[in-house]
Every structure is written in structure tokens, then in C-alpha cells.
Amino acid sequence: MFNSLTPLPADPILGLLTAYREDPHPQKVDLGVGVYKDATGHTPILDCVKAAEQQRTDTETTKVYISPTGSAQFNQLMTELAFGQRHQALLADRIKTVSTPGGTGALRVAAEFIHHCKPNAVIWVSDPTWANHTALFEAAGLTVKTYPYYDYDSKSIKFEQMTAALKNIAKDDVVLLHACCHNPSGMDLTPAQWDEVIAITAEQGFTPLIDMAYQGFGDGIDEDAYGVRQMAAAVEELILCSSCSKNFGLYRERIGACSLMANDSVKANIALSVMLYVIRGIYSMPPAHGAALVETILDNTELRLQWQQELAVMRNRINSNRQMLVNKLLEKGVKQDFNFIARQKGMFSFLGINPSQVATLKKEHSIYMVDSSRISIAGISEGNVDYLAQSIASILR
């Protein structure tokens, strides 16, 4: 069976990690995978997570199977975190949430669920989007098409083209929107733009699938959920995929959530039964440890406050890294305008250089980024920004 196989390409983003680790260059810089790093280049375990972990070790009494929905308390707290505690759809019992193996697991569950509802559904994703979106939606049997989003020339959103495209999308289709911190462009919809997109969604009747992998990394926990909350108030049905990888720093614990909102409580329960059927066919039950940590934190006033503070530190560091790189590039005499980096949000921006310049930065300067020139802003630090800006300046000359 295996003899006829030919090799398939590895994940292009995760592959950078290995290449970086094996590079002996003393000044190497990792701007590849989107993980938070502190000023020393380390991805720490949050203090609130450590405290929650200690509590769980002291009080956990069993490792028996959890249910296919995962932890009910985690699901409730995650729903409140995303939609807001008193959202009308929540109070009307229209939202059902399951714990999933990471945000990726949530997306795959959502994709299989959509495929079950509408086997011929087309899912529209932004051009560009996270590479894994396309791969996992296609793996679930969906057809993927794109709507215009990022303008590489003006470094902004092609908003008019985007809305024109959305106005042509049919009722039975699905549109994927990034809640905040757009991966890979860093360009987010403003609240006014969200309002317009929401009005079109309500008018057209297609189903919004919102991916929220970075809640709290853009402007703040509530600010970043603006689109989710307003959308949920305006439409009948919605699917939300959330991740605890970044904002709780729980990457390898693989914990996220998938929420569905139906137009009444009875239909929500029916839809949930279908989602659980889909889950049974993939992994049966989600991992429990990450969910236990998140619920311990969110349910405890002190730990929750500590989490909010630690999240603010991560958010502020990323934002100051953005300005720091822009300033350094100016200082190095770069003529091109890089101010857009400071205007963008979240973990990523495109540097806007071509693939051969990306290759030169890697080969000659040991600076690692995705071929599209997407950089992970968290990889910049006081210690490497001078070398980084100098190297970028040298390839732009």
C-alpha cells in the first residue's frame, strides 16, 4: 500500500521552526511561526496558568473520559468570553459550544459540520488567509473560494471590492471572517467596516464562520470580539471557532472551542446533536487539561485579573515591537514607507518584500519568515531589532 506513495510538502510555517533551530548563526532571528515570545525570545508559561495547574494537580481526582462536548464549565466561560456575558443570543439559549483540540480542531469540526448541513457548500475565505484554512476546509470536502481582502500596494483592505464580492455570495454558502488580528496581513476591519459586512451578511443570508484565534491580542478582550458580538446580534445563524493557544499560551495543550448559534434554542440543540455526531467520527472527545486550566482561571476573580494583565503585557509588547521596527528601519536610512506595520494589529504583517529577498534574508542573514514575507512580530526584540533592520535595509538597497 505504501510503495506507490510520493512525498507531500510539509507545513511551510512549522517547517521554518526546524530550519531556525538547526541554524548555528549567533544572530539568527525567528519571525516564522506565530507564537508569542518575550524580550529574551522565550515563550513562557503564563503565571496564571502555572497557578491553575498547581490547583488542578492538588484537586483533580480522576482521568476518566470526559464527554464529547468537553467541559461544560469551560464551554460556558468561553461562550461568555467571546459573546459577552449578557448577549441576547446567549440569554435566549441559542448558542451551543463544544471544547475542541485547539482552534484547528474547532475549524475542522465546523468544516465537517457545514459539509454535513450542505455537502455542496462553498466556503469563501479572504485573499490571503491562513494557509491551513484552505487545506482543512478542502479536506472536509468543501469547495474553497476567495473574496478580495488585502491590498499589497496600499497595505490596507480592499474594502469596496470585498463588499462587492460579499454581495454576490449565495444564501447556502459560508463566509469565513477573521475576528481580529488577521493572519497573515495584520489588517483588521474597523467597527464601521464590521457594521457594513454584518449588514450584507444579514441581507444575503449566507452563514458567517468567524475564526477568533487571537482574542485579546489586538485592542483588548472585548474590543477584539466586536465583530463576533455584533454579527451574533444581527443574524440567525453563526459558527465561531476560538483558540486558547495564543491568549492563554496553551499552544501544545491543544484547546479551543467551536460555538454554533441557531435561530432558536430547539434548533440549536438539534444542530449540536449533529455537531456531536461529527465529533464522534473524528476524535470522540477533546483533551481535558487545557480546558481545566482555562476554566480555573476564568472562574477565579484573582486568576482572571492576573490573566488579563499578562495578556495586556503580551499585547503591548507586540504593539511596541511594531513601532520599534518601524523606527529602526527609518534610523537605518530605509526610504520605503514601513509605517503600515505600526498601524496593523496582532501577531503578523507582510514586510512586502519578494520571495527572493526573503530567501536572501534567510540564507545570508539567518532571518526566518514565511515566503510570502509574513513576519511574526513577537519574534522582534530589543536585542535583535538593530541587526534585523540593518539586514532588511541591506536587501532593499
Measure the CA dihedral 149/194/169/172, to 10°.
130
Cell matching residue 149 = 481582502
- Among 30, 52, 89, 103, which residue interacts with ligand PLP (rule: CB under 6 A)? 103
CA distance 2 to 175: 37
- Please say if 130 is a catalytic residue: yes
Site residues for ligand PLP, 128-167, by CB under 6 A, read: 130
Closest CA to 375 of 340, 351, 357: 351
Amino acid letter for position 125:
V
> Is 371 tagged catalytic?
no
Q: Please work out the total of residues on this chain that contact ligand TYF, with binding judged by CB under 6 A.
A: 8
The angle formed by the CA atoms of residues 266, 269 and 271, to the nearest 5 degrees, is: 110
Query: Which residue number, 15 or 141, has a Cβ lying nearer to ligand TYF?
Result: 15
Q: How far is the CB of 205 from ligand TYF (least distance, A)?
A: 30
Residue 373 sits in the site that holds ligand TYF (CB under 6 A):
no
Candidate ranges 7-15, 20-28, 140-148, 357-365; the one touching ligand TYF (CB under 6 A) = 7-15
Task: Give the helix ranges, DSSP H, for 140-264.
Answer: 159-166, 191-204, 226-234
Q: Which stretch binds ligand TYF (CB under 6 A): 9-17, 70-78, 289-297, 351-359?
A: 9-17
- Residues whose CB falls within 8 Å of the CB of residue 322, separated by 6 or more in sequence, listed in order: 341, 342, 344, 349, 377
Q: Which is nearer to ligand PLP, 136 or 165 (CB)?
A: 136
> What amino acid is encoded at 115 in this protein?
H
Q: Which of 33, 29, 30 is nearest to 12 (CA)?
A: 33
Closest CA to 194 of 224, 152, 156, 238: 224
Q: Distance between CA 296 and CA 216 in Å, rounded?
A: 18
Tell me the window of 10-18, 43-51, 292-300, 382-390 that interacts with ligand TYF (CB under 6 A): 10-18
246 part of the active site: yes
> How far is it, in rounded angstroms, from Cα 184 to Cα 34?
10
Residue 11 contact, options ligand PLP, ligand TYF, none, Cβ 5-8 Å cut-off depending on partner type: ligand TYF
Cell 480592499 belongs to 158
Which residue lies nearer to ligand PLP by CB, 227 or 256?
A: 256
- The item of ligand PLP, ligand TYF, none sharing an interface with residue 13, based on CB under 5 to 8 Å by kind, is ligand TYF
8 A C-beta contact, residue 241 and residue 104:
no
213 is a site residue for ligand PLP (CB under 6 A): yes
* Among 253, 219, 263, residue whose Cα is nearest residue 93: 263
**Per the residue annotation, which of 211, 307, 328, 362 is the catalytic one?**
211
126 binds, among ligand TYF, ligand PLP, none (CB under 5 to 8 A by kind): none
33-72 footprint of ligand TYF as x/- string (CB under 6 A): xx--------------------------------------
Nearest approach in angstroms of CB 182 to ligand TYF is 11
Nearer to ligand TYF, 34 or 227 (CB): 34
- Binding flag, residue 306, ligand TYF (CB under 6 A): no
104 scored as a contact of ligand PLP (CB under 6 A)? yes
User: Which residue out of 28, 96, 124, 130 is catalytically annotated?
Assistant: 130
Q: How many helices (H) and strands (E) does the chain have?
A: 15, 13
Where does residue 220 fall: left (phi above 0), alpha (psi -120 to 50 degrees), or beta otherwise? left
Contact, 246 vs 240, CB < 8 A?
Answer: no
Out of 71, 79, 207, 245, point to the residue binding ligand PLP (CB under 6 A): 245
* Interacting residues toward ligand PLP by CB under 6 A: 34, 102-104, 130, 183, 211, 213, 243, 245, 251, 256
* Interacting residues toward ligand TYF by CB under 6 A: 11, 13-14, 33-34, 130, 132, 183
